Amino acid sequence: MISKGGSEALLQTLVDSARTASPDYNILLPLLRLLVKVGQRDKKFGKKALELEALDVTLILARKNLSHNQNLIHCLWALQVFASRVTTAAMLGINGAMELLFKVITPYSRKCTRIIRAATEVLAVLLKSSKCRRAVNRGYLNGLLRLHQDWQSHDTSNDFIQIRRSLLLCLKHITNIQSGREVFLGAQGMEILFTTTQKYLGNQSMDAIISIVIQILRKCYPKCSLPLSTASSYYSFSVPGSMSSGPPGTINEGKLYLLHLLLKDDDLETDLKKLTSKPVLSWREEELKQYEAMCLELSHNFQELNSKSGDELSSEEDLGIHQCNYFCNIPTQTSSKKHCQERDQSSQGLETGDTHFQDPPLKQMKIMKSTGDTTYEEGAPGKIGPYLSSNDQEEDSSQREAPNTQASFKEPPWGAEVCSCQNKNTFLSSSIRIDETSETVSKFLERHPMDIPFHNPYTYIAKAEGTKSVPGFKVLAFPDVWGHHSPPFSQPMLERKCGIQRAKIFEDVQRFIHPDKVALCIGGMMFWFLLMGIQVRKGVFEYDLLINADVNCVQHQQWFYFKVSGMKAAMAYRFNVINCEKVNSQFNYGMQPTMYSVKEALQGRPHWVRVGYDICYYKNHYRQNPAAAGAPGKCHYTLTFSVTFPHNEDVCYLAYHYPYTYTALMAHLDFLEKSVNRKKVYFQHQVLCQTLGGNPCPLVTITAMPESNSSDHLQQLRQRPYQVIVARVHPGESNASWVMKGTLEFLVSSDPIAGLLRESFIFKIIPMLNPDGVINGNHRCSLRGEDLNRQWLSPTAQHQPTIYHTKGLLHYLNNIGRTPVVFCDFHGHSQKKNVFFYGCSIKETLWQAGCTADTSIVTEDIGYRTLPKILDQVAPAFAISSCSFLVEKSRASTARVVVWREIGVLRSYTMESSYCGCNQGPYKVSLCSRLWHNTQIAINNIC
C-alpha cells in the first residue's frame, strides 16, 4: 500500500475532507486512525504530510475540538506520528503545537485523563525532536515540574504512571540543552525529583519512572573538575632524547589528544594488499647478529653432560633444593588436580558472605578514637597519607609505599606499626628503614614461621634493593615481603544486589542537595598510599579516593593498591574511587577487589581474598581532561565498594586485582633456576635489555636437555621449533603475570606433558615486557607515557628498548629459518569473563567487513583456528565464543598483528584472561595459572 502511493492518497483525503465547510467526523475519525497505522510504517510519512499540508489541517482540527474529547484524541494520535519526524516536528513547533498541548494538559485535573495522556505523549515526542529552547524561553519547564509534583502526589494508587512517565520524558528532553539544565536547577528540579521519588525506590512496578528520574538527575548534576591541581601524574621522568623537559602537566597534551582521535578508528582493515603483503626486512645482518647470544641453545656444546654423571648432577640439585626451605617441588598434573579438589571440598560448608577469615585466638585491644591531625609527620606512625597510586601494584614502585618528600619516614618495611596484639608482641614498635629490613624479617620469622612456595623474604628484599623507580621508593608492602598463597577455598563471583547502582546515585544526589548533612570526622581509619600526588576526602566511614595518572601521562587511572589501618571490626567502610576512566567494568558483573590482612597472615593465613559488597561502577559528575578523554564533556567513573574488616586495629591491603610485582618475578626466576632438574631441563635466564628506568628485562629459555652431547642429540635439540611467549606489556594487567607464573612452573615441572613439551619445543619467554610500568605503578604505559603495545611497527632501542629487542629477536629467528610456530602475548581483560584469543585472519576480516574483494584468490592456512578449537575442548576456562580473528586498523601496531604480518607467524595470538573469573565450566572463579597447562596440551596436539 505504501509503495503504491497509499500514504499520499490518505493524506490528501484528510486534507480535502477537513477543508470542507462542515467536516464529516464519521469519515475523519476512521481516516485518522488509519493514518496513524500507516504512518508508523512509512519512513517518509512526515515529509509527505508536510508537502500535502496535512500538518496544518490536523492542528486546525485539534484547535476546533478542544471541548470534543473523541475528536481531539484522534487528532493528538495523528500529531504524535507527525512529531516523530524531525522536519515535521520543527514545523509543528513553528505553527504553535506546543502552546496547544500545554493548554490541554494544564492545569492539573483528573478529568479527561485519556486526552491528557495522549497530549503528554505528543509533547514528549515533540520535545525530543526539537523546540526545547522554545519550551525553556516560555517557562514551560516550571509548569512541567508543577504538573509532575501534582500527579506524583495525587496518584497514590499508581493508576496514571503513563502520564507521569510522559511528563518526565518532557523534562528529560528539555534538560538536554544547557539552558534547560540551568532553569531546571534554578527551579530546584533536583530537589523536587529526588524528594518525590524516594518512597517508590523499593517498588519494582515504578522502575519506568525511577529510571527516567535517574537519567535526569545524572544529566543535571553540575559537572566539575576533580579536586586536583593538575590532571597529570605526580611524577615525571626525563626521557633520553626527548625534546620536552617540562613538568608532566605540560608535556604533549595536544599530541595525546590527537593520538587518541587516531586510535579511535576501529574499522576493519579492508585493503587486500596490506593484509596479504609482507613488509621487507628492515634490519641489517649486523644488527641481527647481536641476538645470537640470546639463542645459546643453538651453539652450546653441552660438554658438562660428560664431565659429571647423572647421579652427581642429581645429588647437587637435591642439595641445592634442601639448602633453601623456601623452594618447593613443582607439582605435577595429578597433584594439581588433587589440590583443586581439596580446595573445592574445603569450600563446602562455608557460609556465603563478605569475609573468609577466622576469629583470631588473640585478645583484641580496645579501640581508642584518634583525635590527631590527618597529615604526615616525621616519625609519627599511623597518620593518614595524602596520596594514592594509579597502579600501586609494584613493591618497588607501587607496592612499596612512597616516602614523603618533605619528611623522612621511619616505618617498618610494611607499615605494620598500628597492628598490635596484647598477648603477643607481633609487631615491632620501632620504625625500621629498608636497609634494616632483613633483621626485622628475621625477628618476624622466629615468631611466625612460614613456608610459602617459591618465596623467600630475604631474596625478595635483596631483589627489591636493586630495583630502580622514578620516585625512589624505600618502603616495602607487607604482602610482597611476607608472601602469600592461595586460600584453601574457592570464591564464587559476587551476585549483585538489585538496585545497588540506583541507590548509590541517589546518595550522590543527596550529598549535592544537602551538603550540610554530610558528617565529617577527624581521625578514624589510617591510609598509606603508594604513590604521592592525590588527596583523599574522608567521611566517618566513607572515603573518596583519586588514582594517580601514569608517569608522564594525563590518563590511565584504573588500577589501585593501597594500605589501610586503624579500622574497627564488623563496621562497614565504603570506598569510592572517583576518577576511573573505562566506560564499564566487570565490577558490575561479579568482580570484587582483593584484600590481604596482616593479622590473618601472621596467624598462618597469608591470603589475598576477594572482598567487598554493594559494589558498582557508574559514571559520575567529574569532567575528564580533554587531552585524556579525546573530546570535551566526558566524565569520569566511580568504583564504589564496601568492606567489613575482620579485625580491630588491623593492617589491610586493598587492590584492584591480585598484585604481582617485578621483584616477585625476578625472585621467582631465581627460585626456578635453582630448583629445576638440570639433567632434564635446560633453563637459561638472560637479560634481554635494560629498560629506560635502568632495570633488566628478563629473557628465559626453556627446553629439554639433550640426552648427551653427541651430534645427533645436539642436532635434535637445535631442530626443535620455537614458541615465543610474552606478557605484561600493560602493567595494570597483573593477571597476565599470574598466567605467566603458571606457565613457567608448569614448563619446568616433572609433569609428563611438560617433559613432552620440552622435548618438542624451545620456549623463548619474556615474562614482563614493561618492567618500568609495573615498578612505577602505571596502569598501561611506559615511562614515556606511551602504550608499548602500539609501538611494534617501528620501535627504537632508545625509546622502546623492550619492544625493539623482542622484535629483533623474532626477526633473528625468522632470518635463520626458525620462525616460531606460536607467538602468544598474555593480557588481562576488564570487560569480559573467561579466557579467549585474538588472532589474525585475512578472509574473516574481509567477510566481516562486507568487502567486495575476491577472496577466492586469497590462499589462507586455517591453522590459526586449530589451537582455539582444541583449547575449547580441553580447557574449561576457555571461551571460543569470545575469540576474534579480525584485523583492525587500530590494532595494526600491536604485537599480534605485527608478528603475524612481518614475521609470518600464522598462530600469532593475544591471550586475554578476565580480571573477574569464569562463568562457565567447573571454574566459576579465577584460576588463571592453570590455563597454560591446557594451552600447551593443545599446541602439542597440533604440532
Angle at CA 155, nearest 5°, toward 152 and 157?
130
End-to-end CA, the chain: 62
Write out the H or E segment, with its range, that includes residue 786: none
- CATH for the stretch 500-655: 2.60.40.3120
Q: How many percent of the chain have pLDDT more than 90?
A: 45
Looking at residues 66-86, what average pLDDT do you find? 88
- % of residues, the chain, pLDDT over 70: 77
**How far apart are alpha carbons 152 and 150 in whole angstroms?**
5
pLDDT at 540: 62
Provide the pLDDT for residue 285. 86
Sign of CA dihedral 728, 734, 739, 742: positive
For residue 884, give the 3-state DSSP assignment. Answer: strand
Q: Taking 70 as the threshold, does the pLDDT of residue 266 lie above it?
A: no
Predicted confidence (pLDDT) per residue in 366-424, tens digit: 222 233 333 323 332 222 233 333 344 444 433 444 333 333 323 333 333 333 333 33
Show Cβ contacts of residue 793 under 8 Å, excluding neighbours closer than 6 positions: 892, 893, 898
Residue 648's region, left for phi above 0, alpha for psi from -120 to 50, else beta, is beta
Distance (Å, whole) CA 125 – CA 121:
6
| Torsion sign over Cα 785, 789, 790, 795 | positive
* Structural contact between residues 410 and 433, judged by C-beta atoms closer than 8 angstroms: yes
Q: What integer is the mean pLDDT of 356-365?
A: 38
Q: What average pLDDT is seen over the chain?
A: 80
The pLDDT-based confidence of 7 (bands split at 50, 70, 90) is: confident
In three-state secondary structure terms, 354 is coil
- Determine whether 107 is exposed, middle or buried from the number of CB atoms within 10 Å of its CB (0-12, 13-18, 19+): exposed
Name the region of 270 (left: φ>0; alpha: ψ -120 to 50; beta: rest).
Answer: alpha
- Residue 533's nearest CA partner among 693, 392, 662 is 392
Q: Does residue 792 contact residue 894 with C-beta atoms inside 8 Å?
A: yes
How many CA atoms lie within 13 Å of 801's alpha carbon, on the beta-carbon side? Answer: 18
Nearest to 1 by CA among 29, 34, 32, 23: 34
- Per-residue pLDDT at 922: 84
Per CATH, 6-220 and 304-324+661-830+880-916 having the same topology is answered no
- Name the more confident of 303 and 520: 303
186-190, 277-281, 725-729, 738-742: least confidently modelled range: 277-281
> Going edge to edge, which strands form the sheet with 835-838?
681-690, 696-704, 762-766, 722-727, 822-829, 907-914, 835-838
**pLDDT mean over 26-52:** 87
Q: Which of 163-172, 343-352, 482-491, 820-829 has the lowest mean pLDDT?
A: 343-352
Model pLDDT, residue 537: 57
The whole-model pTM stands at: 0.80
When pLDDT is cut at 50, 70 and 90, the band that residue 490 belongs to is: confident
Write the pLDDT tens digit of every residue in 546-560.
Answer: 998 899 888 888 899
**What pLDDT is recorded for position 156?**
86
304-324+661-830+880-916 CATH fold: Aminopeptidase (3.40.630)
Q: What is the pLDDT of residue 746?
A: 95
Residues 628, 542 contacting (CB under 8 angstroms)? no
Task: Identify any residues that bridge with 878 across adjacent strands, giving them in sequence order.
Answer: 835
Q: What ranges do the domains of the chain cover? A: 6-220, 304-324+661-830+880-916, 500-655
Which of 905, 942, 527, 536 lies closest to 722 in space, CA to CA?
Answer: 905
The predicted-structure confidence for 153-164, as pLDDT tens digits, reads as follows 998 888 999 999
- Specify the residue for cell string 492545569: 107
pLDDT tens digits for range 706-759: 988 889 999 999 999 999 999 999 999 999 999 999 999 999 999 999 999 999
Q: What is the pLDDT of residue 644?
A: 95
pLDDT at 432 over 70: no
* pLDDT (tens digit per residue) in 211-261: 999 999 999 999 988 888 877 888 888 877 665 444 444 334 334 444 444
Q: State mean pLDDT over 826-848.
A: 92
Catalytically annotated residues: 912
Nearest to 173 by CA among 131, 142, 208, 210: 131
- Here the cell at position 560 is 589501585
Per-residue pLDDT at 318 exceeds 80: no
Distance CA 720, CA 268 (A): 36
What's the residue count for the chain?
Answer: 943
User: Is the confidence at residue 284, as pLDDT, over 90?
Assistant: no
Q: How far apart are CA 282 and CA 791, in angstroms?
A: 16
Q: Domain 6-220, what architecture?
A: Alpha Horseshoe (1.25)
**Grid cell listed for 95:** 505553527
Q: Measuring CA to CA, how many Å separate 80 from each of 32, 49, 77? A: 12, 13, 5
Is 359 a residue whose pLDDT tops 50? no
Residue 568 scores a pLDDT above 60:
yes
Helix/strand number for the chain, H first, E second: 36, 17
Residue 572 pLDDT: 92
What was the pLDDT predicted at 853? Answer: 67
Residue 871: pLDDT band (50, 70, 90) is very high
Please name the helix (run of DSSP H) or strand (run of DSSP E) that holds residue 828, with its range, or none.
strand 822-829
| Cell of residue 761, nine digits | 619445543
Q: For residue 390, what pLDDT is reported?
A: 37
Residue 529, pLDDT score: 54
Give the mean pLDDT of 571-590. 92
pLDDT at res. 676: 93
pLDDT at 521: 55
- The pLDDT confidence band at residue 444, using thresholds 50, 70 and 90, is confident
Return the minimum-mean-pLDDT range out of 6-20, 38-52, 401-415. Answer: 401-415
* Mean per-residue pLDDT, 134-145: 90
pLDDT of residue 849: 81
